[in-house]
Structure 1
Amino acid sequence: TGRRLVMVDAEPRACALARLNAAQVEEDVEVREGRFDAVLDPAERFALVVADPPWVPSQRVAEFPEDPVWAIDGGIDGLEVARRCVRTASRHLAADGRVLLQLGSVEQVEVLDHTCETSGLEVLAVREAGEGGSRGVLALLGPEAWTGPRPHEG
């Protein structure tokens, strides 16, 4: 597309791997290390924000012993980081931009809907991954004023 890709992660090892991958392509890729709500310039706008925040409720992280706790712990209801993602993305989204957000369940998307509304975004589509949503869900968010056709749900 010719657009610049900005990748953000708070984990140094993830950033190091992202930089190694970015060096293999000819695209304009920048990797920033730190919290996403702290490393973006206030004036930056993006056509697409892809976010995969930790979404496992804190009391359930022991169910996933193979995953580092810092990578999966989403707070009490699993949505602490996702809420921050939505609020931050809404401030950095181009006028007709979209947010693609990975969460654990349709129910989490429904709970997050209030944060979307207060951030000027709405849930445009939700798609379950895996059999019966066994691998999470993807939620497509966009500005409330969007009047174009809605993406297919399912």
Structure 2
Amino acid sequence: MVAISFERGNEAFCAEHGLDAATPPTLGDALEQAHLALDKAALFFGHGSDSAWDEAVFLILSACALPLDSGDSVLEQPLSDDSWQTALRWLQGRIDDRQPLPYLTGRAWFAGLEFYCDKRALVPRSPLAEVIRNKYRPWWTDGAPTRLLDLCCGGGCIGIAAALYQPDLEVCIADIDGDALSLADENIARYELQDRVKSRQSDLMGALGDERFDIILCNPPYVDAADLASMPAEFQSEPPRGLGSGEDGLDMARRILRDAGQHLRSQGLLFLEVGNSWAALDDELAAVSLTWVEFSEGGHGVLLVRAPELPNIVKHLALAE
């Protein structure tokens, strides 16, 4: 977890943001104060929460070492001095430094599961969680998949979640970034999945040899140059190589589509997330019938490709020489 220390005194920070330097009497009082401070700070919420209230709940419950699904009964619990000081430290990091909250608390959630989280990798956020929970249906129909690749895995949450939702699945998680893989290895060990989830350092599929998979899940860098330049300050804390992917956001996606056919089994599926760059890819492949996944839980920009479709897609890609 990233250590955050006060660069200015508690009292000055608290006075500016309407917080009590003295410990509030109850968890509920602390929650109200945190909510008001976060709400007034003009923050961007998109790293595990989408509102000041949700973020305040995450922050205060985490500072008190309580589960995020705690009921209203915890609101009347007395608040310890240590918990309030932790909350104030995180609030300062969040408000003054625009740090994503999961980097401050050291934990994040994906597909209903908790993961270690720090600046070695992007904060987990992907609609692929819904694909995993639905066990790749309705597109996968040939029994249960046995081998899965989480490509551009970052901290490993996608591949690890896939393994936890399907106990017989063998998973490879791959990333070019050794620091991200060290975090992924910690998450693998957290869930004691070393026997079924293996990490591999690889520039996309370059180090995968002749391995083939039933399912490839990939959340690569896909932010285009314009969006990257205008991103909120919170994204500046994340590894830059995990975000941008060329002028139109598709440099990585094109390479993945080019090479995926060598690593999918004959009836395999590729789920490729390209976020807001989906429109550019849809235009580029206008001559091809594409399947864009629709999500009931929110999210967009995930392309589903069946292995037999890849040759025609590659034929129409604007691949660099």
Please confirm whether the aligned pair reaches a TM-score higher than 0.5, indicating the same fold. Answer: yes
Q: Contact (CA 8 Å) 1:61, 1:69: kept in 2 or not? A: no
- Structure index of larger Rg: 2
More strand by share: 1
SS in 1 for 2:261: helix
Deviation at 1:127, TM superposition (A): 2.3
Q: Which residue of 2 aligns with 1:15?
A: 181
Q: Which residue of 1 aligns with 2:199?
A: 31
Deviation at 1:99, TM superposition (A): 0.4
Deviation at 1:11, TM superposition (A): 1.5
Q: Which residue of 2 aligns with 1:148?
A: none
Letter matched to residue 205 of structure 2: D
Once the two structures are superposed, what CA deviation does each residue of 1:21-58 show, in whole Å capped at 9, x if it has no partner?
112234511101131232111x2110000111111112
User: Structure 2: 5+ residue runs without aligned partners?
Assistant: 1-145, 147-167, 310-321
Once the two structures are superposed, the pairs formed by residues 91-102 of structure 1 within 5 Å of their partners are 91-102=262-273
Letter matched to residue 12 of structure 1: G
More helix by share: 2
Letter matched to residue 87 of structure 1: R
Q: Which residue of 2 aligns with 1:40?
A: 208
Q: Contact (CA 8 Å) 2:172, 2:199: kept in 1 or not? A: yes
SS in 2 for 1:83: helix
Q: Which 4+ stretches in 1 moved above 6 angstroms?
A: none
Once the two structures are superposed, what CA deviation does each residue of 1:110-141 show, in whole Å capped at 9, x if it has no partner?
14537xx6xxxx6334326876xxx4422111
Superposed CA RMSD in Å reads 2.6
C-alpha distance in 2 between matches for 1:130 and 1:108: 24
**Of 69, 84, 102, the match for 2:255:** 84
Q: Which residue of 1 aligns with 2:220?
A: 53
Q: Which residue of 2 aligns with 1:150?
A: none
Letter matched to residue 107 of structure 1: A
SS in 2 for 1:38: coil
Q: Contact (CA 8 Å) 1:79, 1:112: kept in 2 or not? A: no
Letter matched to residue 18 of structure 1: A
Deviation at 1:100, TM superposition (A): 0.7
Distance 1:35 1:86, change over 3 A: same
Distance 1:52 1:104, change over 3 A: same
Structure with bigger RCO (C-alpha 8 Å, 6+ apart): 1
- The percent identity for this pair of structures is 25
Q: Which one is further off, 26-35 or 94-103?
A: 26-35
Q: Which residue of 1 aligns with 2:305?
A: 141
User: Structure 1: 5+ residue runs without aligned partners?
Assistant: 146-154
TM score, norm. by length of structure 1: 0.74
